[in-house]
């Protein structure tokens, strides 16, 4: 009788808390497919706001059942040649960004991103295309490689949207900058801050 009662208690012993397998907590990593931000940059002298559009083109790929949004492409500028024709100095940025660090909570988080691409500095009216080896016949614009670092805050709002605040530091090397009129130093640092919405 004692043996029978011991055998009947075995199923209950196997369900004790010490034997249960605890599932790993779900990652709170913030996912952003596209965002549009408005801000200001130290590289712009035309008094117009800087506009940034960022898209994650590889989001259709899945990593651990989550969209791959660690890599994105971004374009920032005041819209010279498209939204206005102001000849005052301004710089446009075209870069690929990669998320290298993240600290996330349920409804907000911080991200550190690195960027590589190129920048275009114009000191006159915008001309079509990019000039990497000269400043054009009028000495109005030139382009070169650029590296950047970004600190981003993301705050959930509703329906999968979030507010983004981003601080960006960048440095561009423009080989033909001394040919601009007026002449500029080949190394052009910039600092910008922007605010916007994304999903």
Q: In this structure, are strands 71-77 and 90-104 parallel, antiparallel, or unpaired?
A: antiparallel
Question: Which tokens in the block code for residue 37?
Answer: 């931000």
Question: Which tokens in the block code for residue 74?
Answer: 């971004």
What tens digit of pLDDT does each residue of 164-198 get?
999 999 999 999 999 999 999 999 999 999 999 99
User: pTM value?
Assistant: 0.84
pLDDT-derived band of residue 28, with 50, 70 and 90 as boundaries? low
What tens digit of pLDDT does each residue of 51-92 get?
999 999 999 999 888 999 999 999 999 998 788 888 889 999
Instruction: Establish if 102 belongs to a structural domain.
Output: yes
Instruction: Establish if 47 belongs to a structural domain.
Output: yes
Question: Which tokens in the block code for residue 152?
Answer: 């981003």
Question: Which tokens in the block code for residue 58?
Answer: 């590889």
DSSP class per residue in 95-155: EEEEEEEEEE-SSEEEEEEEEEEEEEEESSS--SS--SS--TTTT-EEEEEEEEEEEEEEE
Instruction: Establish if 59 belongs to a structural domain.
Output: yes
Instruction: Establish if 178 belongs to a structural domain.
Output: yes
What's the domain count of the chain?
1
User: Which domain range does residue 78 map to?
Assistant: 30-198
Instruction: Establish if 115 belongs to a structural domain.
Output: yes
Instruction: Establish if 7 belongs to a structural domain.
Output: no
Closest CA to 117 of 89, 87, 82, 92: 92
Instruction: Establish if 11 belongs to a structural domain.
Output: no
Cα separation, 99 vs 66, in Å, equals 15
Cα separation, 89 vs 42, in Å, equals 11
CATH of the domain at 68: 2.40.160.20
Average pLDDT over every residue of 149-169? 96
Instruction: Establish if 13 belongs to a structural domain.
Output: no
Q: Is pLDDT larger for residue 163 or for residue 22?
A: 163
């Amino acid at each position: 009788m004692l043996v029978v009662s011991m055998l009947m208690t075995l199923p209950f012993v196997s369900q004790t808390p010490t034997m249960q397998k605890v599932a790993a907590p779900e990652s709170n990593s913030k996912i952003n497919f596209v965002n549009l931000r408005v801000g200001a940059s130290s590289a712009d002298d035309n008094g117009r706001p800087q506009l940034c559009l960022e898209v994650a083109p590889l989001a259709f790929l899945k990593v651990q059942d989550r969209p791959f949004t660690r890599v994105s492409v971004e374009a920032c500028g005041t819209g010279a040649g498209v939204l206005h024709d102001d000849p005052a100095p301004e710089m446009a940025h075209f870069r690929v960004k990669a998320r290298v660090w993240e600290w996330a909570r349920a409804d907000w988080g911080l991200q550190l991103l690195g960027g590589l691409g190129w920048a275009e500095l114009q000191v006159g009216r915008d001309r079509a295309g990019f000039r990497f080896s000269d400043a054009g016949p009028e000495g109005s614009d030139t382009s070169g490689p650029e590296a950047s670092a970004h600190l981003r805050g993301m705050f959930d709002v509703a329906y999968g949207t979030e507010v983004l605040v981003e601080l960006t530091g960048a440095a561009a090397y423009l080989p033909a900058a001394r040919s601009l009129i007026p002449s500029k130093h080949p190394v052009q640092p910039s600092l910008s801050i922007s605010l916007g919405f994304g999903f």
